[in-house]
Structure 1
C-alpha cells in the first residue's frame, strides 16, 4: 500500500487556477511488514509455522494456513479505522477550519482489509514471500 503526500499550489491570476502535485512512497508500515516477513525467507516451513507472529505487523490470520509442497498461504486481515472529518469552529486562525483528528468509534469507519501472504517453498524452504490482493 502506498502513502500519498500532496501539495496544493494556487496560482492567483484572473482565473484562480489550483494545481495539485502528489508523490507516492511506501508507508512506514509497508516497510516494516516487508522487513519482518523477509526474515523468514531461507527458513523451513515448520519454522515459519511456529514462529510467524502476524500481530507484530498488525495483521490477523483468518482460518488455517494453506500448506502445499510449493507454498504456505496465509489469509490475513488488517483492521483499519478511517476517521470521518468533522468541521469545527475556526478558532486557530483566520479562515482556518480545523478537522477533528481524534478517532472515537462513533466518528470513524472500522474496516478489515483482506489479502494473502504467500511464502514460496522449494524443498520445504521459503525462497520468497509475496502478497496477493489489493489491500496488503
Structure 2
C-alpha cells in the first residue's frame, strides 16, 4: 500500500510539472533573453520585449518611474486533477495510475514582476520579484 501511495504521488507530481500551457523555458534561457535589453532605453524595451516568447503574459501595462521599468506578468499553468481509481484495483495489488482528462484540471496564473533598474532612462540591470518567475 505504501508503494502504491508513493508511486501515485510521484506520478501526480510528474503530471503537475509537465502540464503547463505555456512554453517551457529554463531559467538560463529567460535570463539570457532579458539580459539582451540591458543598455537599452525604456522605450526600446517596451517596444521590443516579447514576454510570450519566454512563457509569460503581461498582466498590466508596464509602470515606469525614474529608477525602474516594471512588468507585472503571469505564467498560466494547468494542474491536472487526478481521477479516483477503482477500489477493486487497489485490492488486487494493481498500481494505480492517475488519469486526467483534459477537462478536469485547475488553471492557475502564477504572478511575478520583472523589474529593469534604470539610470538616465537606460536599463542597467534586471531582477525579479515573487517566487513564481
If the length of structure 1 is used for normalisation, what is the TM-score? 0.67
1:68 aligns with 65
Structure with the bigger percentage of helix = 2
Query: Which secondary structure state, in structure 2, belongs to the residue aligned with residue 35 of structure 1?
Result: helix
Query: Which secondary structure state, in structure 1, belongs to the residue aligned with residue 95 of structure 2?
Result: coil
2:10 aligns with none
Question: 1: distance between equivalents of 2:58 and 2:84?
Answer: 37
Structure with the bigger percentage of strand = 1
2:97 aligns with 98
Query: Which secondary structure state, in structure 1, belongs to the residue aligned with residue 123 of structure 2?
Result: strand
Structure 1 residue ranges without an equivalent (≥5):
1-9, 11-26
Counterpart contact for 2:66–2:118, Cα < 8 Å = yes
Structure 2 residue ranges without an equivalent (≥5):
4-23
Report deviation, 1:87.
4.8
The alignment's C-alpha RMSD in Å is: 2.2
How many pairs align?
106
Counterpart contact for 1:87–1:98, Cα < 8 Å = no
2:116 aligns with 119
Question: 2: distance between equivalents of 1:68 and 1:28?
Answer: 29
Q: What does residue range 1-136 of structure 1 map to in structure 2 within 5 Å?
A: 28-88=25-85, 95-100=94-99, 104=102, 106-136=103-133
